[in-house]
A and B are shown apart, each in its own frame.
Chain A
Amino acid sequence: MGALTLARVALICATLGLFLAPWHGLQDGLSELAAWPVGTAAPLVALLLDGSRWWLWPVALLLALAAPALLRGRAGGGLAWIGGLLVLAVLGAGYAIGLNGLQWGWLAPLLGAPPPQPSLGWGAFLVLAGGIGLFAAGQAARGRFGADAFVAFLVCGCGFLLILFVFLPLVNMLSAALYEDGRLAPAAFGARLVAPEAWSLACVTSHAGCGVVWNTLLLASLTAVISTLLGLAFALLAVRGGARGPVSAGAFRAMTILPLITPPFVVSLALIVLFGRTGIVTGLLWDWFDIPRSRWIYGLPGVLLAQVLAQAPIAFLLLDGALRAISPSLEEAASTMGARRMRVFRTVTWPLLKPALAASFLLAFVESLADFGNPLVLGGDFDVLSTRIFFAIAGARHDPGRAAALALLLLAITFGAFALQALWLGKRRYTTVTGKGDSGIPAPLPKGLKFTCAAVAWPWMIFTAAVYGIILVGGFVHDIGRGDLSFTWRHLGTGFEVGWFDGAPAFIGSAWDSLFTTIQVAAISAPLTAGLGILLAWLIARQNFPGRRGLEFMTMLSFAIPGTVVGVSYIMAFNVPPVELTGTALILVICFVFRNLPVGVRGGIAALAQIDKSLDEASATMGGGAFATLRRVVLPLLRPAIVTALAYSFVTAMTAVSAVIFLVSARHNLATVYIVGRVEAGEMALAIAYSTVLIVIMLGMVLGIEKLVGRARLGRGSAPTIPSGA
């Protein structure tokens, strides 16, 4: 796409925003449109003409400045200035003048005492998009971004969104660590960062607990190592398990998808039912072997168990994909040269798995850092950073400064993990899918390794089955916590009763509202997340442009922040103009998109790392622009990654809790927040029943997505279909 086309589209878009769309947000919904073109639905041009927004004249002037050259068919580098100033003018004016008039006191000599300005609406959104387009076109015209306007626009647009929805809210929130009682206090900041509650090592020498940082690190490392190893065992069995490989692959897939689609808390609840002091297993052990009942599940062991149950399947999915993508030709080459199976595995397969192993470790580590539900239910006295932050904000002692300092520590740990990953992978190359023809049959596993994997994987499967059995049963018996196992529909009825009024079905059950909202929000955010994530991955992995590292950093940032911090930072940042989103379903969608983005991005990058760049180059040599290459070469090859991103973001949008617990509103409540409420009230049965419903829905969705978009597989012979008669 040329710079001129982009600039023209951008100009049209901005002009529409100027003349047609209402400039400010519609507080009461679309009914306000009746007043157009005056009143609350007035477009900017009307507001400028009646003088009530005179400080926005620069917006109109800048557009007028850009128009003549574009109409004559010339797109120059000057457009970058115009576009940049346009964005600054709109946002600057929005932040400077808020609901209470002038916000930035130092502008008083220039602006005087302007009237209050409500939030920005569709008109402003179009002008902003146009401004970004003009900026990108200008940059492309100057030869930046490989002089490709499409890439330039993607980078600028993504960068803008990331700054607005990831970076600014976070900075806003974290700056609270610097303040005490509304004043800047660097000393308090220092004290908070090195507080003994975070760093104490008392548990080594005495009975007192250790600092939360140590607890968090210990838990996250254990979770990451154990889940990655489990995932690897499952993946090896599934892909390389020989004749019974496909069978176990099917079983694992069915089994491993369950923890993935389970709402938080539920696994913890099931673990309590099994291993609590009055749990089923505990009772059996007591009756049969006189093993005394204890409360070991409350604390590190319980949380670890719950987290591994959740993370091992994700590790499996990642490693499974990576194993399948490894071209067998390298392994065949090794065996041809006489290497034994174990040696092939050790020197060829294992090194090629490194990126996926690192990704899986990192994912489990970071997920464990951010996990909030399981430590909340099973933590006992074992406190981790995410729960500590939550209670620093929402607990009886409200202390945002302390919460911000703890959040900073959590961020530091996360980035440390990323740095370690980069160090381990080094600068080696891991491409195995090249443009050259490659076919072959993957080498089977060495025997010893296969037995080890089976010995680990199958017991874990049984354990998982037991946990999910409890969940399935729990929703349909009177009180599983007390062992009352008589069958009942009561809990399901409370949540999902459907009545019949005036010939139409009426959803009376208390859970319907939240269920509908959850499905809507998840259905909207999942494709957005997958699309944006894959685009970003492609930009980061395949394009070279200034600020690439910065863009990558910002996409990963939102993943590293604990959900609670995201929730509170969003509510602080988007409750007041210019960007006013709280109380809408949009804020939930945005929150999910930017929180789940890193998974799409990382998955995309990992997949791209295995697709040789020569394919891109071939497309470019034959005259394909960046857009054509992306659409016709990269995207088809990335289908597995896209499916994973879609399924993952849909599922996390349905199961996330910590970030959205602050963002749900009366009209838009979410299933998980509702379930948390049930757990809080001690209504485990209703919580479990609702979770069962969610699990069924998500299972259907994930299978549906797979069916619709196609099985995530790269074309390559997987099993010997031709009898090897020769």
Chain B
Amino acid sequence: MHGISRRGLLKTGVAAGVLSLSGMPLRAQTRGGKLTAGLSGANTSDSWDGRTHSDLYMIASAQGAVFDSLTEVAADGSLKGELAESWEASADAKTWTFNLRQGVTFHNGKAFGADDVIESLQLHVAEGSKSAAQPIVAAIAEMTKITDSQVQFTLESGNADFPYLMSDYHLLMYPAGQIEEAIAQGIGTGLYQVQSFDPGVRMVATRYPDHYKGDSAGYFDEIEYIAINDNTARMNALMTGQVDAINRIDFKTEALLRANPALRIQEVTGNQQYTFPMLTDVAPFNDVNIRKALKYGINRQEMVDKILLGHGAVGNDTPIGPANQFYNAEMEQLDYDPDQAKFYLQQAGLDSLDIDLSASNAAFEGAVDAAQLFQSSAAAGGININVVQEPADGYWSNVWLKKPFCACYWSGRATEDWMFSTAYEAGVPWNDSQWDEKDSARFQELLLMARAELDSNTRRDQYHEMQQILRDEGGVLVPMFANYVQAVNNRISSPDTVGNLWQMDNARMAERWSVA
């Protein structure tokens, strides 16, 4: 029953025939055809307002197809200009000048210029705006239009990563003076022009002729994104050939997909991480020895094997993952060692320790199971973990940041500073371990130094040291990085390097993939 299906055989047969006839290499990207993708993360409340985007469906539709940002993170993790052509910083990384691409038009024909940049960014700091990118824009003290194609940003304090921040998927460029209309109809400068958009159901867009990216991107004539939040329905749609690609495959039925010769599975390890933060201002977690004991009491490899079913990598208690530029790969890996755990308990003056660990599958899929694995591995080190299963509803407001020890997840950030300043800088609202000067003054000092440092070698050393500090003393256990796993029909070809910052090639499959 799971052998080669009639359809699959036909498809691969035809594909192979065409390839051998044309003699083209597999990766050649041809224009034309249609991409139909079944994506999760859609809601009936979705809109083209970038400030509200939080899940794959709208990110792939907006930044991935219809809209552009100033900069873009390439599949290999490097930064390149999108609507900005180039940028320079002052020596203190406080003043940034962006040169905008000329001759770009919005889908309604309006030319793109400096006013659009300023007005689009101001949306995020508007009165009453609840934009998730608010802190990024709020850090800009002044935005000045120098010429129609040049904008200068003066920051509150130096930030070497500022161009990276401009690639955030919330920061979309809208036509100035027509923003309401652009949000209602989806008018951007992206490769694809909206044909129809039914929130939570379907989005169809066609290639915008004469796009500034020319022949280097956006190979399809048409794209259709179908909202399929149900896992099984998404797998079925791919198996029966009704969609060409799906995100987030279900590991339990992965074998069926692998057995289908017409499909291939794409798997990348990015920065998505499953964590157990502890509040370092609450006893007993205020004692670094207790934190160390826990670090040795958790069996990371077992979690990757059993919770992620192998689709991931072990973490080293830092939020900086393989998708980051200054990831410290040489740092020695923390290993499960109950004797070390016992040793650090003794250092803290204890023979055994009883703690509660709050978990719910709202934190991540399998969080409760992970907590139970942790419970059994820690028991060997004299740590008795009591797993408290919390209700999924209201988890993020009632448990996370409130209970001293709980389960959590982060999708990670493109840059080190972005991640640290979201969750590890003293005083920020999402600092889920209350990590600040009392724990490591050196860490906070390095954070500020590295942020304004333009020399990459110095920055590398600084970020490596910060990762070291977190590994040895940090208040967050990062036992695993979860892979992004998606499946694609062989009718569609994708480049060798697939982005690992987000699902579906950084949500840019409409731009980078093509018909095989």
The answer to whether A binds B is: no
Which residues of A pack against B, CB within 8 Å?
Answer: none
Which residues of B pack against A, CB within 8 Å?
Answer: none
